[in-house]
Structure 1
Amino acid sequence: MQTPPVAPPDYQALFDAAPTPYLVVTATLHIAAVNQAYLQATRTVRDEIVGRYLFDVFPDNPGDPAASGVANLQASLRRVLQNGCADTMAVQKYDIPVATPDGVRFEERYWSPVNTPVFDAAGAVSHIIHRVEDVTAYVRESARNASMASTIDAQALEIGLANRRLREANEELERRVAARTDAQRQTEERLRDSELRFRLMADSIPQIVWMVDGAGQGIYFNRQWLAYTGVQPATAAPERISAEFVHPDDHAATMEAWQDAMQTGQGFHVEHRIRSAAGDYRWFLVRAEPYRDPGSGDVSLWFGTSTDVHDRKMAEAALRKSEQRYRSLFDSIDEGFCIIRIVFDEHGQPVDYVFCDTNPSSREQTGLADAVGKSMRELAPDHEAHWFDIYGQVARTGVPLRFENQARALNRWFDVFAFRIEEDDDPKVALLFKDITGQKRMTETLRRSECAAIESARQAEAERQRLDALLQAAPVGIVVSDANGAILLANAAHRHLWGERNPGAAGVEQFGAWKGWWADHSGRHGRPLAPREWTTARILDGEENPRDLVAIESFDVPPVRRTVLITGAPVRDSQGAIVGAVVAQMDISDRIKAEDALRQADRRKDEFLAMLAHELRNPLAPIAAAADLLALGKADEARNRLTSGIIARQVRHMTGLVDDLLDVSRVTRGLVKLDKSRLDAKKVLADAVEQVRPLIEARRHALTVRVPPEPAFVMGDAKRLVQVVSNLLNNAAKYTPEGGAIALGMTVDGGRIEIAVSDSGIGLTPEFQAHAFELFTQAARTSDRSQGGLGIGLALVRSLVELHGGRIAVHSDGIGKGSRFAVQLPRLEEAAPGANAEAHPAAPRGAGRTLKVMVVDDNADAAQMLGVVVEALGHQAIVLHHAHRAIERSRVEQPDIYLLDIGLPDMDGYQLAQRLRSQPETARATLIAVTGYGQEQDRLAALRAGFDQHFAKPIDSARLAAVLAESATAP
């Protein structure tokens, strides 16, 4: 039974409402559908782009010679069409055309695209879903950060170059001072020339260059000082210069650092703000190195530079502020965010990663607490290797990657955006992710809605064709009707149900041509449906979710009757008005037949229980009467023998019924082990006839036996095969009126032997023949049930035949026309070597000595009766009802034989047997288990417990007499 179909959602609305931009293209790269988010992101209009070739709408920027967006996207789409797999692209620079009053200009944009295939019914890619994310802001921010870093590095390089030039100038001066000669004038000229070159060099660099003598008096400033401060350089102490030009907040720290440098003779380094000619302050990096007199070693000069680092300081402040904002955002966003460092092995393969930082949401969404500083292998040893491969790729290439994947070790799904963070020579990867485990179903629903949105983008006729292809493949009949009931669409399963010649319908009024009858076993069961009672009509009238069970007649020739379950739902427009109906019709004829068969089996079971009660009650009546007669105590010996015979016969009858039930149970549960040997099938027939001949002769039937002249050997269990044939003969004799004819025949056909039993009896109905070999099945009986039986014989016969690798069949032309049962068995080609020996019972021994027999049974009547039987056989009986009492008496009496019930209240028979075996006085006695459990496993359990023999209740008196006689005559 299938769930009634539900009205489909508005997939176009779902598609348009999706926040992620989506574009759908055909296999020829024409635009089939687009959602609102994509239109907004690309500044396009739906009607202007749908149906056009993708790259006519979005060409490369003609003003960018390096533009590669079209080529890269074409390559990705080709891979999807060729491989049928989704393709995730690296971040693409793909400028979009924007209409302006001056014409079309291209706006710089960066995108992260994913292309996913959609397959048609044949498995070919019919469409591609192009999903993008606009990452322009991220790329631009990354570029700005890179530019800022480059500027700072360049300024640092300039400062270094200036310092190097100063050092070179100092070295030049030192060399010139060291090379002084007596030619003082020449030396002075060279010094002046050197000083001139130094000043030219100092004035050529962008930094402020200054010198202070060993006493701490400023003696030189290059022209950059004047250009920046607007004040001519003058000789002055650093304290005065700092007080006049350095920002008041920085003055104290500056002088403290200068005094420390003067005292220690170490380099001077400080950052402070200097007032410009315009009156504003800018940050400068100030460095000075001491020059020591070669002779005395004292500091004679300080050479210093002041480098404008204001932009760098502002950038650092902005960076700190940005970092603060980042940290605030980092800690407050509901998405997980972490920074990891990839661990590579000696071959350069990513094998792990270490958490450098995580936000609170990261810890919540991964379940990994205190992860910072720890590796993923340490936190989750079974984490899949593909995560390391993905993050390693991002770290190596720097290409951001957006993906969804499952972390089985964490038992979660994640949506991850991974991108590289450049930090010196140790690139790290930042992860922005979200636990989407609970959203997978929603995502799957959205995926289906995306696919459905593709269908809605086509023209109505094409959509009907696709819907028809889906409906035709459905295993249930589906009909779509309009508001008047006219059939718009019907699938192949519907045509199969109703026949290809069905007339269709232009409206509800024409439903009268369709034949249907209520089949729901209600008061209307069997009544034909009126036109407005059909499911479609009632849906159009406003009934919600009808569910009907209807017998229909097809328009085939000849017509076919089926039982169908009909469900349906209305089709509504956007205002909720009913504009049509969708109806599903499921053929449940086989299920109805199965339910009928189940009911019949249940009925047969009830009949069997009734028959079992009857069959068990019948022998109880004469047994009860015999018991009453014996209770009177007035019967003579002849009457006692008559009474005893009645009881014995009825007990044998009841035992036979129980044995039949147990036999069926063992066979059907596969507990029967066949004792197979090579058998002459002719002898099997002879033995079976011998068993049934008394009944056949008593009913004055004429029996004909025909066997073939050629050998007919089978591999089987002689006892069971005789049981099969005798059962069939017995049924033929019972169900054929007296004086009838019975035929037993055998034919040999290649590798099979067929044994057939036919009669001129009451015959069988076709219905009975269909279930003849099922449990509890019986033909019609008269009220007196003269034939008896439980209806299990044929089921047992079939099971035994199948255990021999054969099969059985039945045929009857009807009531009063007799029946024929045929058994086929595999044939053995060669005769068995030698004749089969038959077991003969041993000759009875003489009367022997009188035995002492202890009977232990908590059922007083059963124990007493068994004791009477023992005494009647000429032996002494000791009757007890408790196990512990039996143990005590056994030490004194030391019986020869014990008859022990298994289900004793104080100690079961198995335990009692073990106790008796453990006593020296009773260790060698004969122990016989007496129980109502008579299956093979019960016998084996008794033997394992120490019993010598196992008797099933009621005890066979002849077998008991034989056992006692054998023990009495034993030496």
Structure 2
Amino acid sequence: MYDPAQFLPSFVWRADRDGVIRYVNPWASRYLGIPAEQIIGRTWREFVHPDDIDTVLDAVRQMRDGNLLRNAEVRLLRVDGAFRWHTLHLQAQRDESGRIGDTVGVATDIHHCRHAWAMYEASERRLKAAFQGARMGAWEWDMKNQRVRMTEQLAELYSFPPGTEAVALSDLWNRIAPEHREPFQQKVEQALRCGGPFEFDYLLDDGVMPPRWLRMRGHAEFDGHGELASVHGVTFDISKQRAAEERLVLSERRYRALVESTGALVWSAGPDGNIRPADEPWGKFTGADPVQLENWGWLDFVHPDDREFTRQAWLDILKRGTASWIAFRMRRYDGRYRMVQAHAAPLHDEHGTLQEWFGTTTDVTAQHEAQAAIEARSLRLNVAMQAAEIHIVALDLDSWTLSFEVGSETLEGETLTYEAALSRVNPDDRPVLDRYVRELAAGGDPGAHFEFRVQGQRGEQWMEGSALLQRAPDGKPLRLIASVVDITERKRMELMLREADRRKDEFLAMLAHELRNPLAPIRTAIALFEKQDGIDGRSADLIRLMRRQTEHMTRIVDDLLEVSRITQGRIALQLEPILVGTAVYHAVEAMAASVEARGQHMNVDVSDATAWVLGDATRISQILVNILNNASKYTPEQGNISISARADETWVEIVTTDTGTGISAELLPKVFELFSQGDRPLDRSSGGLGIGLSLVRKLVELHDGTITVQSEGEGRGTTVTVRLPRLHHHERHSAQVLSGPGTSAKSAALQLLIVDDNRDAADSLAMLCESEGHFTRTAYSSAEAIEAAAQLRPDVALLDIGLPDVDGYELARRLRPKDATTPVLIAITGYGQADDRLRAQSAGFDYHFVKPVNVEGLLTLLSSLTERGQASGAASGAT
């Protein structure tokens, strides 16, 4: 019999339900180094790495759900005793009873791929660390769309919020200091015209002190038509370099000024020490002919009390043959003696032979005066340090003891062993501080600053400090010198701000949830009014007005809740391939009634009907409906709205334009900020909370997309562009769609139990269901519900989740025993996240509705349940 597995260069086996191997191909025998007849009868567990056995078992268990194909990555034992990574493709076969029988496994070696991927990830980490350590960020300018993509290091350099990956090019340039902005743009334009690489230095306008200087290096790229397409490059922080250069320039200016002000005298001497003074400077200083100073004649101008000492010091320098200096008093042209300092340095040839001495003699009287000024300044600094309670701590690395001082005064008796001092630090901060100290003592660089909490006289205090390592001349670490300042008040304010921000987020979430409860009975009451016959025209208009305003309020609450969920990181996307044209038409259909009511004209253009994106269908619809709703809201009656979709190889672009009020130049940079709004009329007839575009941007970014808003000004309309990554290779997924039931006679009614602690919500929902011919019973607590269920034996139970005594999850378990099918359980709740639905499903709920309840959807569901009941009855009768 022909066996294709005989020729596969892959590990193939077949095992029975107990895991016993019944077949292996020749490749498996060669890989394991065991003849096939010796492998058959053994279990597959013997050849799989022990840590990967659970992975295989999990894959097998998942096949019991109906899908008989599973993949897993495992390590298989090779003949040399090494384990290598393989992708294991498992396919189960059912026996005659429908149970899983044999399982076939095909293993493909991916060891080198795994190893290469690990090396790639390590390389990426090293590159990121290198960029971080070098304070360097990479970027790409998209010149056609005027956008900048950047690494997180570059975002940090420009002080953009964490997580920023792309900004408008203008946002980047606006971060440059105003006085550098125009020259910078001119240099960039000139470099781009030339087409070669460029490099510029510029100053940021971010209020940081000292100023932050950046250096940009880039290279332009042109497309096939010779048009500028993009610019790539890196930017790194050169603030320290610029500061050092400025200090050097300043130091040179000071030195020149000092030399000129002190009248430094230049001289040279032979190897024997005979002086040859420069003519003009020496003549000006001494008022004598410089010839009188040659050889040893200069000693005649030295103060008699210093003459012998100076002579002997010069002879000692000549004997040592090394650079040195002498300070002494020397007579000036006016007969006054000035304190001078003579520096001498030997000059040798390439063989080490002394050629001559080079020296300067400088009047240092002014330096003495400057030293006095420095000492006075130091005194003022010490006073300021004492006032600011800046503590200087010294850790002696020989004895590991600490001494403390404030300003320049050492505190007597304030000496502690390192362990004793560390014991005063908060236990949570102790390991971090100890690691910092020991790393610095070992010569490492743990960072510029450290923070810790310490138990002091005023309770627990937050301290911030910085330290440096002091070494001996031979390089041996001597001591750590640290300055420490109390930042308790600042920390307290930070914690208060964080707590206030957390409470704000919780308040928004709770506010949105609580607003849903009163909306539920209002929406139900409106539905009841709409079902009444004989309503006059004015009443019908009022009912439609209430429905519009209720729907508007519902959208506001939903937007508020969505923003809160995104802020708290509780949004999880359900990604699937989505046809962009379908998404656009669905959004247009959802807005059609509103647009028509305002007499507006909408134009739809989807030029590429086959463009796909990977996204969450609900969230994509939410994005487009929100944008169209904004366009309709700010466009006057008879205005025009257009939405178009087009795609290139990388992106799908959805553009919405309108002829509405537009956006002012002042508001345009802030349109994505939460609660940001433009000017509104006093009646706020089309107003909102100003969270729509903020929500839209967050949802777009969750899809790895971008959104931009453009407007030429007030009264000139607005253009919103959403760009999403295009999906080229997608799988078609089948989806089960619940079809709406057909119309049926109302003769069959359901017994409904409605439970809600909000009496208005329960009673209005009961009235609505009764209008459809159903029999209802309301309960306002779990206890009442259990008692009513025993009497009514309901077909369907509609339960609020947030009940005060026993919550809706537990009530559902009590109303319907395990394995029972009645009553049908429907959750009515203000919580609609995916995890809320999963929790309801695990509690036994069959359906899940979010407040305020979609009336049409609920009535349609009840109608379908009625038809199922009729069908069941007909089947029973036929039997």
TM over 0.5: no
Larger Rg: 1
